[in-house]
A and B are shown apart, each in its own frame.
Chain A
Amino acid sequence: MEEFLNQLKEDFDEVSYEFETISIKVNVENWISSHELLRDKFDLKYFSWLSAIDWDNEVSVGDAPKEEVTPSFEIVTCLSSVDNSNLITISTTIAKDESVIPSLVGVYVGANWHEREAFEMFGIDFEGHPNLTKLYLPDGYEGNPMLKSFELISREVKPWPGDVDVEGMPEDSEGDDS
């Protein structure tokens, strides 16, 4: 693991190892070339998944990020090797108003469906994708459900916590847990 990490540090500037997960950050210009390098030089031929994170301060679902963030999309892919336990996640950040990124289908064919999912869920445009159409959502569906600004109807109709959920916490007298 140490050795693999050091090898990665030679080729990439931003490599971190936290919570047993290696994360690499690259610029969007190097998105394709980094993946080619990881596939060929580091033998990470197994394409696990691709997805995106919507970073925004104004959220309609869940909690907002603790610190102020620049509204942007973070695209994350996960690559690994079938022969050993090497696994990395690699990410890049793109602006929200110009959410275009080159498609990885040329490097890993398996990225096809993952990119289609990110396209419909976040509205990210994957340049050069052979068939960038909706994967799950029906024709005529408007909006991108995974955006933080997209409201979750069930929570709008019935706010949380509802009546059932406002039970008190367990009695403190029972134990000495912190």
Chain B
Amino acid sequence: MVNTIDPRNIPGISEASVSVEIETEDMTLNIGPQHPSTHGVLRLVAKVDGEKVYNVEPVLGYMHRGYEKLAEVRTYPQITTLVNRIDWVAGFSNEIPFIAGAERLMEIEVPERAKQIRLILTEMARICSHFVFNGAYALEVGALTPIFYAMEDRERVLDLIESVTGGRFHPNFNRIGGVKPAAGSGPTTKKNIQDLPAGFYRDTKLAMEKVIEAADKFQNLIGGNEVFHKRTKNVGILPKETAEAFGVSGPILRASGVKSDLRTQTDYLPYDKFDFDIPVGENGDCYDRWDVRTKEMVESAKIVLQAIDDMPSGPLQAKVPKVIKVPAGRTYVRAENPKGEMGYYIVSEGGLGPYRLKVRTASFSNVSILPVMLEGALLPDLIAIMGSLDFVLGDVDR
């Protein structure tokens, strides 16, 4: 007969095991660079104490392509192909501030119609970017379904961009002084000025109504989900003052309660002609950031609907010299891109290309706040916070 001692019968042991302080050793956790939630190749080195993150160091450079250097050996018209690839989710928006900067230095007045086509397409790019965010963010916090809806709905808008520009992601559609003659609208001759493709207004109207419907659907599907609320509400709160000092912009800044939108504050495109709201958050948490972007989709769709109703007629191109030389000078042009403030500081010495081109991207400043936001956060919240910043690595590294 073997005597066995049941530990449960030893007096006091069950209490003892509970009251013992559990000490964990600090651990370094490497996230990325090849991780689906890093939107490219961002690497985070997190130091964790149990479930608590107490230090995060983002490691950049896996996507650095040196566009600022490459721009120095290219002519102005060639640079638009480069800048398309900075934030590839909304390629069209990247061209706008660069082209506007070159036009400002050359003192070219862009025709109204060209400006409005730019405005329509840049708003469509914003819708695409927010669709991707809605799908991807839901996926990151554990909901698989929304990304299928998001991708399907985005395709309609991408088709429209493609029908005008000929490209889905990298349109390269802007020219100094206006826009390229639209794709699919007949042969290029000077006498027969090409314009938007046939049926564009009708298709746009349908697609934009679908966008408003889709945003509504996401408000129910994602915003009405209790798990999503639990994962995002009061998680990753970003105070207004911190956001300002770090240069955080776009929907993230607005979610922190700052009503700042370069579309109304500056005049790079004729936004003053249209009625639209600027959605603002209250708490600056992950939920607000999602909410602001989803509401922005509706506002963008409203802008596009107003714009196609009120299209000015006229040429697509201002008169520009055949060889584009930008006079000496320097200017900074910024625009409200889907991810925030994007700007180009052009230093021209009067040559065919810029002497120096500084590219200010939104995601770079937005990601620089990660160490501050993640300090003291729980490990499961790390992905929720990171995803809510909606960055793209091409936009961080350039």
Q: Which residues of B contact A18 (CB under 8 A)?
A: 329-331
- Cβ-defined contact, B351 with A110, below 8 A: no
Segment of B1-9, B164-172, B308-316, B341-349 engaged in the interface with chain A: B341-349
In the complex, the chain B residue whose C-beta lies closest to that of A147 is B69
Contact of B368 among A53, A76, A113, A134 (CB under 8 A): A113
B85 to chain A, nearest CB (A): 16
- Cβ-defined contact, A21 with B331, below 8 A: yes
- Cβ-defined contact, B247 with A53, below 8 A: no
- Cβ-defined contact, A61 with B355, below 8 A: no
16 A-B pairs in the complex with CB atoms less than 8 angstroms apart:
A18-B329, A19-B105, A20-B104, A61-B73, A63-B349, A63-B351, A66-B349, A66-B350, A83-B260, A110-B365, A136-B60, A136-B397, A137-B61, A146-B68, A177-B322, A178-B321
- Cβ-defined contact, A20 with B345, below 8 A: no
**Known contacts A108-B245, A146-B68, A174-B190; A78/B323 CB under 8 A:** no
- Cβ-defined contact, B69 with A145, below 8 A: yes
- Cβ-defined contact, A23 with B330, below 8 A: yes
- Cβ-defined contact, A82 with B253, below 8 A: yes
What's the interface size class on A, roughly? 35 or more
Q: Which residues of A contact B68 (CB under 8 A)?
A: 146
A7 to chain B, nearest CB (A): 19
Q: Quick check: is B353 within 8 A (CB to CB) of the other chain?
A: yes
- Cβ-defined contact, A85 with B265, below 8 A: yes
In the complex, the chain B residue whose C-beta lies closest to that of A121 is B68
In the complex, the chain B residue whose C-beta lies closest to that of A113 is B368
Q: Quick check: is B332 within 8 A (CB to CB) of the other chain?
A: yes
**Known contacts A49-B358, A76-B345, A136-B61; A110/B319 CB under 8 A:** no
Q: Which residues of A contact B105 (CB under 8 A)?
A: 19
Q: Quick check: is A157 within 8 A (CB to CB) of the other chain?
A: no
Q: Which residues of B contact A78 (CB under 8 A)?
A: 332, 343, 345, 360
Contact of A109 among B64, B245, B321, B355 (CB under 8 A): B245
B384 to chain A, nearest CB (A): 23
Q: Which of B299-326 touch A at CB < 8 Å?
A: 319-323
Q: Quick check: is A51 within 8 A (CB to CB) of the other chain?
A: yes
Q: What are the nearest 10 A-B pairs in CB distance?
A: A136-B61, A19-B331, A82-B260, A62-B72, A110-B246, A63-B351, A110-B247, A85-B265, A49-B360, A136-B64
Q: Which residues of B contact A169 (CB under 8 A)?
A: 322-323
A109 to B70, CA, bound (A): 29
Contact of B247 among A48, A65, A76, A155 (CB under 8 A): A48
**Known contacts A89-B345, A145-B66; A61/B328 CB under 8 A:** no
Contact of B246 among A21, A61, A82, A109 (CB under 8 A): A109
Q: Which residues of B contact A135 (CB under 8 A)?
A: 60-61
- Cβ-defined contact, B345 with A177, below 8 A: no
- Cβ-defined contact, A113 with B322, below 8 A: no
Q: Quick check: is B143 within 8 A (CB to CB) of the other chain?
A: no
Q: Which residues of B contact A175 (CB under 8 A)?
A: 190
